[in-house]
Amino acid sequence: MAKTPRVGEQAPDFELQGTGGSFRLSEHRGERVVLLFYPGDNTMVCTKQFCSYRDRAEDFASLNATVVGISSQSVESHEGFVAKNNLNVPLLADEDKSVAKAYSAVMPGVGSTARAVIVIDEQGVVRHRHDHRLGLDYQTVDELKAALETLA
């Protein structure tokens, strides 16, 4: 079954609370947006992923995009994860997984948030999508940069 939205399709709007306050996708028109869906706070691979972005903060900042992480934990869980690891990516709480479902970022049979990267252009159109099969790896800063460069 194909993942939706597909590249070239309009990204579904949503609003979630997070570590940086409220985030509504449609309020970021005119900006490139990267949605980083991930399974969970304080898990081995997710911690490695977000710490790798923190460790390359200058390169990460040069992506020239609004980047947010999305998983099903609460804002309080996200705040603890950010504080414990001094993270530089705002994390959004999708506790009912409605946004993960709208973006086909839910692990089949398990129901938890799957690891996926969705790049949205300034007009709100999906321009890149990478779904991780097992969630045991993640896209590096360099891979995110390469994906964003295709939009230029």
The catalytic residue positions are 46
Helices H, strands E: what count in the chain?
5, 7
**Helix ranges restricted to H, the chain:** 44-55, 57-61, 75-85, 98-102, 141-149
- Distance of alpha carbon 61 from alpha carbon 40, whole angstroms: 23
* Both tokens assigned to 118: 């969705």
Decide: 40 and 73 in contact? Cβ < 8 Å. Answer: yes
- Distance of alpha carbon 152 from alpha carbon 149, whole angstroms: 5
